[in-house]
């Protein structure tokens, strides 16, 4: 029965490649072989704090200037034209299967970090309930659950709630973003002494992750790390 349903789903909603958007010839794949060869995760040198690609040194310009609340984190791919299109389709156009590829990439390319950080709990960046209703799902929660499945680390997609609707962050500068995010999150469960891995689709300035880290630490959490699918260059 399940096999049959999978076949039906493949006919009506064939899986597409998250990079070139073409229907996958082999529906068991998550990315087409050509794109798999081309798409590279961010290598070295990268910022010791946020994982952004850098030319030289240890920290990116942003991390030299700002003290982050989280301990360390990494985005797997650069948020450029290709990945921007991919994430947009994932978030707004129902290409949920891209999330399977993203979560696998996070697991595959962040092995070293996962071993070092030893998180006890995986938590997605929450979206406000009204936004989730609008979109039909929380894109970060989907990734967190998949990553939890791959790593065997317990995952709680409800422990942090978005209690205030925040204005779109796109047009704000760093300080405005931070202000905008203050008090937006609420921790609803016990995080005392836990090392937490926060999951999101894209890291830009880090203000969201910092706001969550601050909220979690006020409730007694230990170290807070992040892992995102993409990270902006600047
Ligand atoms: Zn492709
Ligand atoms: Zn950095």
Q: Is 117 helix (H, G, I), strand (E, B) or coil?
A: helix
Cα(68) to centroid of ligand 2, in Å? 9
**What tokens were used for 163?**
């209690």
Which residues, at least 6 apart from 140, have a Cβ–Cβ distance to it below 8 Å? 124, 125, 126, 127, 199, 200, 201
For residues 98 and 33, state if they share a domain: no
Q: 30 lies in which domain range?
A: 1-39
Q: What's residue 28's pLDDT?
A: 93
Q: Which ligand is nearest to the CA of 68?
A: 2
Whole-number pLDDT of residue 7: 64
Domain count, the chain: 2
164 alpha carbon – ligand 1 mean position (Å): 38
Q: The tokens of 71 are what?
A: 């301990």
Q: How far apart are CA 162 and CA 132, in angstroms?
A: 11
pLDDT at residue 172, as a whole number:
75
Q: Are residues 49 and 26 in the same domain?
A: no
Give the Å distance between the CA of 51 and the centre of ligand 1.
Answer: 25
Six-digit token string for 146: 């998949």
Q: Tell how far the Cα of 20 is from the centroid of ligand 2, in angstroms.
A: 29
234 residues of the chain, pLDDT tens digit each: 667 766 666 666 899 999 999 999 999 999 999 999 999 999 999 999 999 999 999 999 999 998 999 999 999 999 999 999 999 999 998 899 999 999 999 999 999 999 999 999 999 999 888 888 887 789 999 999 999 999 999 999 999 999 877 666 677 776 777 777 878 899 999 999 999 999 999 999 898 999 999 999 999 999 999 999 999 986
The reply to whether 104 and 180 lie within a common domain is yes
Is omega for the bond preceding 162 within 30 degrees of 0, making it cis?
Answer: no
Sequence-distant (≥ 6) Cβ neighbours of residue 52 within 8 angstroms: 42, 46, 60, 62, 63, 75, 231, 232, 233, 234
φ, ψ for residue 197, nearest 5 deg: -110, 115
CA 158 to centroid of ligand 2, rounded, Å: 28
**Is the same domain home to 137 and 179?**
yes
73 and 88 in a single domain? The answer is yes
**Vertex 61, ends 184 and 228: CA angle to 5°?**
50
- Please, which residues have CB within 8 angstroms of residue 145's CB and are 6 or more apart in sequence? 155, 157
Could you give the C-alpha distances from 119 to 13, 114, 131, 154, in angstroms and in order?
35, 7, 28, 9
Q: How far is the CA of 234 from the centre of ligand 2 (A)?
A: 9
pLDDT of residue 223: 98
Residues 8 and 89 in one domain: no
Nearest 5°: CA angle at 45, between 43 and 50? Answer: 85
Residues 109 and 132 in one domain: yes
The environment of the single-atom ion ligand 1, i.e. residues with CB closer than 5 A, is: 17, 19-20, 32, 35
Pairing status of strand 160-162 against strand 185-187? antiparallel
Please check whether residue 90 is in contact with residue 102, taking contact to mean a CB–CB distance below 8 angstroms.
Answer: yes
Specify whether 18 is located in the same domain as 47. Answer: no
Nearest ligand, measured from the Cα of 82: 1
In this prediction, residue 132 carries a pLDDT of 82
The CATH number that applies at residue 149 is 3.40.50.2020
Gap between the Cα atoms of 94 and 72, Å rounded:
31
């Amino acid at each position: 029965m399940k096999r049959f349903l999978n076949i039906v789903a493949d006919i009506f909603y064939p899986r597409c490649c998250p990079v070139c958007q073409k229907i996958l010839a082999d529906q068991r794949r998550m990315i087409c072989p050509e794109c798999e060869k081309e798409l590279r995760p961010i290598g070295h040198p990268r910022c010791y704090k946020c994982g952004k690609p850098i030319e030289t040194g240890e920290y990116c310009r942003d991390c030299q200037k700002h003290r982050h609340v989280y301990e360390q984190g990494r985005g797997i791919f650069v948020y450029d034209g290709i990945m921007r299109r991919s994430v947009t389709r994932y978030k707004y156009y129902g290409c949920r299967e891209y999330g399977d590829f993203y979560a696998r990439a996070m697991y595959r390319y962040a092995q070293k970090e996962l071993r070092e950080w030893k998180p006890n709990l995986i938590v997605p960046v929450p979206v406000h309930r009204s936004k989730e209703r609008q979109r039909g799902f929380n894109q970060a929660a989907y990734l967190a659950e998949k990553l939890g499945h791959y790593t065997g680390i317990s995952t709680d997609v409800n422990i942090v709630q978005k209690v205030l609707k925040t204005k779109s962050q796109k047009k704000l500068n760093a300080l405005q973003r931070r202000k905008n995010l203050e008090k937006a999150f609420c921790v609803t469960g016990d995080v005392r002494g836990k090392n937490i891995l926060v999951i999101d689709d894209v890291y830009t300035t880090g203000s969201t992750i910092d706001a969550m880290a601050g909220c979690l630490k006020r409730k007694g959490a230990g170290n807070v790390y992040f892992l995102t699918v993409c990270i902006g260059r600047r």
